[in-house]
Structure 1
């Protein structure tokens, strides 16, 4: 049975790819009629969080791919799959898979840091609000109608 705590631990674990979904590769791959470039579907280790999807689809990811010589490659999320477009298994094996892994790690870290920062901001705002209410209670307690 999955508990809420188990779900939270999985959500906080680093986003990664567990492997290529070979059964979803083009059916004519490896034949004379097969494509040289195609979409390679890979399976995520867990469902990406919305912020991770935004970062993955963002300009920073496209720039990192372009800087590494993969300007035609596009990364897209589809449920628990990462769709790596305009590539092939050879490119992935030659270094693209490693780069994608680094991108996912960095995105995961950035999203986690943003969550922590947001939580800290909310905690600080909560303390300010608590102090304000305490101050109002003390001020109200000092008023006497004798």
Structure 2
């Protein structure tokens, strides 16, 4: 009986530690697909799908995947972040810009500054094309937790 009780106590202690660590201790995937109804109401919004992978811990980072109206390719930006609690202040690689990702009970809120961000898509020869993500319709993105596979790079 003592072994069963101590095993249960260890399990409860480990579960408590995992809960205390919170969701920001590992890579997390968030995504949102905008349906036709939403896009019809937001005619200036070019983004049709967005994925965000946050990597917390010592090497905090972010990876952002974007799809645009009329373009089936995934555009990409990645960079490093400074994490304070639920907020990630991120600087995208190259001249990608800055953004803030804030975790909440439902998912994350991605705030893009007025200057916008820049994403890229390499062609088959390795040359990159760039696209700016700016304007009023691209200031805030609300995303929800998604399976890790949703944040994998796609061509």
Q: Shared topology, TM-score over 0.5?
A: no
- Larger proportion of strand: 2
TM value normalised by structure 1: 0.31
Larger of the two Rg values belongs to structure: 1
